[in-house]
């Protein structure tokens, strides 16, 4: 367990890394005694600093939702981070590559809540009833911590959240079987990854329920209007300068972002 002073040092180092576009040494190396509780506390401090500097929190992201990713990180549950307004990128936009350190992209589904979700005890059907609509998205993830990273490093680094592109066709949560929503992820003309949303804990709404129950322990409610990234159902794809990344969700449409 870290002291409050060390948690603040870690948070300040992550803020500096994002600002300077230069990753810091792994927090798990600098502080070998770091715990997951420390990591979430550091994440909260980072987000508090960003809000104090003028950012606005718009939602959450959920990561490590597949068994393979959990096993590779040696954990038995997902993790989560916070989405800020400055992370939102327009569909089809050209974004400066220098804005990131080592950007990667993933296709996901966004749940936008129409009613609050308050855990514990939230289940899949509760999420579906509370959701106003679901819409395709591309998440851009980045790393403000050097490789190789442990789960403590990723959690403290806000779950690697860096950018969010929303596009395609919004649908009601009961209009389609969300388990079978699929995506083709292109880098330029090549399909790099494919997947179906059932890869996210069997149903992407289960990821939202997990988060509501996780943060509900601390008295946090997922409020209406909140943007919820439910987790990727493919492996992340690296982006280089000049690349256009496009996610084709079939009947739900497609969206893209270009790194320049």
Pick from 232, 249, 248: nearest CA to 139: 232
Average pLDDT over residues 131-141: 98
pLDDT for 217: 87
Pick from 59, 88, 91: nearest CA to 254: 91
123 CA to centre of own chain: 21
Q: With bands split at pLDDT 50, 70 and 90, how would you rate the model's confidence at 176? A: very high
Is the pLDDT confidence value at 259 over 60?
yes
Rounded to an integer, what distance in angstroms lies between the CA atom of residue 193 and that of residue 235? 7
Q: Which domains does the chain have, with CATH numbers?
A: 57-259 (3.90.850.10)
Contact 256, 88 (CB under 8 A): no
Q: Calculate the average pLDDT of the chain.
A: 94
pLDDT tens across 2-40, in order?
999 999 999 999 999 999 999 999 999 999 999 999 999
Number of other residues whose CB lies within 10 A of the CB of residue 1: 11
More reliable by pLDDT, 256 or 74: 256
pLDDT for 64: 76
Contact 60, 228 (CB under 8 A): yes
């Amino acid at each position: 367990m870290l002291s409050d002073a060390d948690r603040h040092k870690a948070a300040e180092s992550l803020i500096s890394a994002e600002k300077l576009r230069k990753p810091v040494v792994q927090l798990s190396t600098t502080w070998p005694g770091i715990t997951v509780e420390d990591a979430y506390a550091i994440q909260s401090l980072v987000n508090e600093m960003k809000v104090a500097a003028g950012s606005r929190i718009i939602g959450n992201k959920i990561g490590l939702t597949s068994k393979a990713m959990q096993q590779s990180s040696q954990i038995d549950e997902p993790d989560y981070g916070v989405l800020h307004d400055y992370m939102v990128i327009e569909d089809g936009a050209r974004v400066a590559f220098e804005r990131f350190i080592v950007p990667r992209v993933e296709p996901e589904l966004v749940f936008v809540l129409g009613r609050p979700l308050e855990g514990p005890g939230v289940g899949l059907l509760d999420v579906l009833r509370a959701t106003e609509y679901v819409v395709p998205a591309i998440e851009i993830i980045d790393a403000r911590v050097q490789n190789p990273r442990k789960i403590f490093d990723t959690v403290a680094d806000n779950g690697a959240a860096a950018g969010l592109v929303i596009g395609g066709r919004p649908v009601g949560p009961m209009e389609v079987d969300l388990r079978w929503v699929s995506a083709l992820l292109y880098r330029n003309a090549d399909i790099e990854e494919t997947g179906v949303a059932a890869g996210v804990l069997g149903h992407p709404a289960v990821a939202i329920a997990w988060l509501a129950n996780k943060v509900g322990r601390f008295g946090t409610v997922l409020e209406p209007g909140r943007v919820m990234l439910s987790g990727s159902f493919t492996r992340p794809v690296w982006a280089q300068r000049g690349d256009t990344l496009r996610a084709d969700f079939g009947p739900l449409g497609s969206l893209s972002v270009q790194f320049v």
